[in-house]
């Protein structure tokens, strides 16, 4: 009787924990940055994941599968987003034959309540597959970040080079300006000297 009570208490605790996990995953899927939802593809103004009023599946995806890219160099584009659709295997989009994360958690909760160990084992295999999918996507994102960091470093180096070239160009322009100023100054002084000389000649002619 005591063991049965503990088992029931354990079941209740596991079910409660699974519900909490599902809620946390939904909240994470609806993460915003600068007021925009980041996991809904191009649909940035509405929550990507919402509860399904019909109940099955427990949550539905209302974003799209658009890839958002940015140009980081001539002819070089990097995809900057992932979607909750692929991360959570919504509509079995990535793993055919495996339900989405929420449906799998829901099924696991039901089987825990029923005490069906065999069914639970099968669902744990599905969860392993879902986790592998998330890990693979994280690796893709990591590779993109690494690429962006490399590009950022390259662009930073290029900016430094351009600034150096600009500085040298500005220095060269300044030197050229000084030369031109001196040339004009010399010409001006020569003109004054010539004018003075002409004035002297004119005065000499006048005084004769």
Cα(16)–Cα(77) distance, integer angstroms:
44
Cα(53)–Cα(60) distance, integer angstroms:
9
**Residue 49: its H or E element:** strand 49-51
Domains of the chain from N-terminus onward = 2-162 (1.20.1330.10)
pTM for this predicted structure: 0.69
Low-confidence ranges of the chain (pLDDT < 50): 1-3, 5-6, 188, 194-208
Q: pLDDT digits over 14-69, tens only?
A: 899 999 999 999 999 999 988 999 999 999 999 999 999 888 899 999 999 999 88
């Amino acid at each position: 009787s005591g063991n049965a009570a503990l088992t029931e208490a354990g079941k209740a605790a596991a079910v409660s924990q699974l519900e909490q996990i599902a809620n946390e995953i939904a909240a994470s899927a609806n993460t915003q940055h600068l007021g925009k939802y980041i996991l809904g593809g191009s649909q940035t103004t509405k929550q990507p994941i919402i509860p399904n009023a019909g109940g099955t599946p427990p949550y539905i995806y209302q974003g799209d599968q658009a890839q958002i890219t940015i140009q980081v160099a001539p002819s070089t584009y990097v995809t900057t987003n992932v979607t909750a659709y692929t991360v959570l295997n919504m509509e079995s989009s990535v793993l055919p034959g495996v339900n989405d994360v929420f449906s799998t958690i829901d099924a696991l909760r039901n089987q825990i309540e029923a005490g069906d160990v065999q069914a639970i084992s099968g669902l744990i295999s599905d969860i392993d597959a879902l986790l592998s999918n998330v890990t693979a996507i994280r690796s893709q994102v990591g590779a993109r970040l690494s690429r962006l960091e490399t590009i950022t470093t390259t662009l930073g180096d290029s900016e430094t080079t351009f600034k150096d070239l600009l500085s040298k160009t500005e220095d060269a322009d300044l030197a050229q300006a000084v030369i031109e100023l001196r040339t004009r100054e010399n010409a001006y002084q020569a003109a004054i000297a010539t004018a003075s000389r002409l004035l002297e000649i004119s005065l000499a002619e006048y005084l004769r």
